[in-house]
Structure formats: C-alpha cells, structure tokens
Chains A and B, each alone.
Chain A
Amino acid sequence: MASLVIAEHDNASIKGATLNTVTAAVACGGDVHVLVAGHNAGAAAQAAAQIAGVSKVIHADAEGLAHGLAENVATQVLAIAGNYTHILFPATAAGKNVAPRVAAKLDVAQLSDVTLVISADTFERPIYAGNAIATVQSKDAVKVLTVRTTGFDAAAATGGSANIETAAATADSGKSTFKGSEIAKNDRPELTAAKVIVSGGRALGSAEKFAEVITPLADKLGAAMGASRAAVDAGYAPNDWQVGQTGKIVAPQLYVACGISGAIQHLAGMKDSKVIVAINKDPEAPIFSVADYGLEADLFAAVPELVNAL
C-alpha cells in the first residue's frame, strides 16, 4: 500500500498546499511518494525530496508538462498510477482540474475536498457549502482524492531525504496549448497560507476605498487581503482574492471581515478560522453569528482607528 501525492509547484519550488496534502497521505497509511511533473523542474523535485514523511520523489520532465495542462498531467499520473492505492491532489485550482480526469480514466469515483482521513477508505468532506459534513466510504481499488489544505497541518518542508527517481515523460496530447497567463503581483502572504487575513466586502463602495481602507490594516498586521464575492464582482478587488465556496477556502489564525454581511457562501470559505472579527454597521448582519469579536461600527471610521491603535 502506497500513496502518490501530485505536487503543486512552479518548476522552481513546491507550493505550500503540497505539504498539507502530504500530511493527508501519511494519514492514509503506507509509503508516501510525490510526483513532480513539470519542465526544468529539478529544483522543485529537490525541494519535494526534503519534505518530511516522503520516501520517494518521482520526477517527470517534459516541455508538455510545463504549464500543468490537465490532459498531459493526467496522462503522466496514469502512467504510474498502477503502483498506488491512494492518489492525492491538493484541492487547489490545479488539483481540482486534474484529479477527476485521472479518476475517470481509472474508472473510480473521486472524493473532493477531503477534510479528514478516518481510515484508508473512509473520509469526511463538506457538502452544501459546508453546511453539512458527509462521512463517505469508497470501495474502489484506488482512491483518488483532493485534499482541503485547511483540514490538514503542513508537513515539515525540511528533514526528509527521499530518493529522486526519474520517470519517462509521457507524450503531449496536442489537444490543448498554453497561450499565456496573467498572475497578479502580490508582495503579501499567499491567501490560503496566511496567518492573518483582512477581507473587505461590498460596503467599501469602490476599488479606491477598498485599497485606501483595507491596505493599511493588512500592512499593519502583515496580513493577506481577501474579499467577498460582492466586492470582487463589483470590481473592488481581483477575483483571486475571493474567499468562499466558489473562491478560496481559508483558515487563518485571525480573519477580519470588514463590511461583509456573511452570506453562507462566504462563511463556507472562512468559518474554520481560529478567531473571526467582524466590523459592520448592520447589527443584523449574519457575520456576527460566527464572529468571536463583533464591532458594530462604520468601517470607514473604525478601520483607520484600528490601524492607529495597533
């Protein structure tokens, strides 16, 4: 029995979500191997070999794997899938893209956003925007999972000494090509890995106000910035800042929600935060029902005051 973790990486380094996925793989029992599929990804494979708990790194390198195209990555995973009882992906945009493709080709069900490994075949996962938790059992020979990173601690990024084995790269499908990307420049901690998140909602009123009010508080706290769907749709914040059922799922130490009413779709993305602070002038806002500390005030006055007080 062995588990295969599909690493998320940028060819130079391993992304944090991979570390949480390794922890989930360890919980499944057996050896943990990591697949690093990419182009010129030697550095990422080296980094994967350092992760505590990993016994082998499989490195597949080819131009067709450069951008993580689902068709090519899935083929690469399938080429080595026969050796594993569990295949785990982080439940990130990249992992969600590829995992079901692998599962369908293996003719097995896939389990999405697993938050707890109960045994090798039994898992917990949230349904209905986190309003219910399902305990599910898979009888398939191979379990293909995506792992909700906030449900598992990160494995130590150092201390391991796995062997790196090179796997033959599979051929490019030729059916899809990467044309380009626009990655938002961000000097802040990554949203899903941040210890503190300051989030803004529709009440900010404009992109200028969003930046003017939220940024100083985030700076002061060394926090990542997040947003509600309403704020993103209104163009106040970029869409990869969205926290919620359809955006990022976060669980920081401190989550500060400014001018966010707290629709269930938003709560689904942040209600596992350790401490939630809500600043809202509407005393009836549902966000107050999950907030540890609620401040009923106009955020345009309260947030700058908070910045000064810190």
Chain B
Amino acid sequence: MKILVPVKRVVDYNVKVRVKSDGTGVDIANVKMSMNPFDEIAVEEAVRLKEKGIATEVIAVSCGVTQCQETLRTAMAIGADRGILVETPADLDLQPLAVAKLLKALVDKEQPGLIILGKQAIDDDCNQTGQMLAALADLPQATFASKVEVVDGKAQVTREIDGGLEVLSLSMPAVITTDLRLNEPRYVTLPNIMKAKKKQLDNFKPEDLGVDVSPRITTLKVSEPPKRSAGIKVPDVATLVDKLKNTAKVI
C-alpha cells in the first residue's frame, strides 16, 4: 500500500507575524518558512507505517510556489520515498478547496491506501483540506487522529474530540488528519538530508491535472487584532483579590 502525505510550506511557527500596513495581508517577505507542524506529524506517521511493513511507499505532495520543493526535501529526509510538487504562481491565493481538488486528481493517479494530512495549517488555520479531499474522493475520514492502526485491512483510528477520545474503524482507502499527540516527529539527520536530494521529485501544473485553482474567497482586508490595554502587576495576593473583587468585579 502507498501512503500519500500532503505537506504545506508555512511561516515558521516561532515567527511572530506582522500585518502589512496597507491591510492587504501578512508580511511574509524574508520570514523563515518551514513545514507545517501538523504535516511533519503526518509524514512521521506514514514513515512509521512503512517501517512496520504496513506501507510500501510514502509519497509527499506539496502544492504552491517553487520553494515548496524545500518542504518536500524535508519530508524525504524524514523518510518519504519521493515527492510531487504541484506548482502554482506566486501571486495565486491557493485555497483549501483547490488543494483538495489537486489532491483528488493525484489520489486518482497514485491510488494510495491511506492519505495522511495535518489537521490544519498554522497560517490560514482552516482545518478543511483533509475533509474536503475525503468528500471529493468519496472516502471515509478520521480527523484529529491521536492513534492509527491498520487491522484486518481497516484503519482503526483514535480521534481527539471535545470531552475525550473516540475510536473509528474505516474501510480503506481512507483519509486521516493528524492531531498533535499522534507522534513526535524525528529530527532529520545530515546523511538523510543528503540522501533526500537524490530522491525523485515530479513536477506538475494544475492544468496537467485538469483542476481549476482560482480562489473562491476574496480577502478584502487583513488587520491587527484589537490590542488589550496594558495591565498592572500586583505586589501580593491580597491586592490581587481586592482588584478582582472591587475593580474588575469578576469574583
């Protein structure tokens, strides 16, 4: 069985982003970019399934600008066997529905047994692509996975839900999206980075896959969130209690 793992190049999670003064977006010029943290977990899980002998091949996919190749090389350094880049113009606002359609075309082509995605990207915070792919490909889904097992040809997935956990059994092929506690991604080593450079990386355009990637949602404005007014430091517990009771009146 093949596993397809979509990965996204995003602003590194440690970067505190700034809104552009003209309100057109977030300033990402000269900002450190990395693989979306949830996608690292997805790659790690796929590679572990391969190490257990359940998967035969792990294919990493990224959609976006040319530089997404770096993200794919990182996935290959973790252990993905090959990469596919669906290259789109730098000025295109690529949205989850379009990505899901591109991935659907690749699922038709590669026929993976599992598709493992991150639950959300930390830039647009959408949490949509996996579910949309599952819908378009008419596959079952298990989102927010914290444990994945393949038993008797079915994917048994523990999901994080509000209030606790639930376990689902899915017929395969299936779509799984990862939550933070699924695993701890390994560090990439220098020899593996070197090896990753030699792995196969195919390049497609959306037209090659017959997909219309034009955005459906227009961003009219991006602004700073309202600032909280500066608070005060209190010297001791008694003052804190007094402030909460008499000034803020919350207790």
Using CB atoms and an 8 Å cutoff, list the residues of chain A in contact with chain B.
67, 69-71, 74, 92-94, 96-105, 107-113, 122, 126-140, 173-184, 186, 192, 196, 221, 229, 232-233, 238-240, 245-246, 248, 253-254, 264-265, 271, 274-277, 288, 290-297, 302, 305-306, 309-310
Contacts and interface: CB of A to CB of B under 8 A. Distances in A.
Interface in B124-178: 124-136, 139-144, 146, 156, 159-171, 174
Contacts of A113: 125
A215 to B, nearest CB: 17
Contact of B233 (A129, A173, A271, A295): A295
Contacts of B130: 100
A217 to B, nearest CB: 11
Contacts of B240: 277, 293, 295, 306
Interface in B167-217: 167-171, 174, 179-181, 215-217
B231 A127 contact: no
B109 to A, nearest CB: 19
A310 B241 CA distance: 7
B241 A309 contact: yes
A306 B128 contact: no
Nearest to A110: B128
A140 to B, nearest CB: 6
B107 interface: no
Contacts of A310: 241, 251
Contacts of B250: 196, 253-254, 274-275
A132 B222 contact: yes
A132 B225 contact: yes
B17 interface: yes
A105 to B, nearest CB: 5
A280 to B, nearest CB: 11
B131 A70 contact: yes
A265 B228 contact: no
Contacts of B128: 99-100, 103, 110, 112
Instruction: Determine which residue in B97, B100, B232 has the highest number of CB atoms from chain A within 10 A of its CB, and name it.
Output: B97
B3 to A, nearest CB: 18
Assign chain B's interface to a size class.
Answer: 35 or more
A264 to B, nearest CB: 6
Nearest to B184: A233
Nearest to A177: B169
B246 interface: no
Contacts of B237: 295, 297, 302, 305-306, 309
A31 B100 CA distance: 32
B32 interface: no
A294 B132 contact: no
B160 A93 contact: yes
26 contacts: A70-B131, A70-B134, A93-B143, A96-B131, A100-B135, A104-B136, A109-B96, A122-B220, A127-B26, A128-B122, A132-B222, A132-B223, A133-B222, A178-B167, A178-B168, A179-B169, A182-B166, A240-B163, A240-B164, A253-B250, A274-B250, A293-B232, A296-B233, A297-B236, A305-B237, A306-B241
Contacts of B181: 232-233, 239
A254 B251 contact: yes
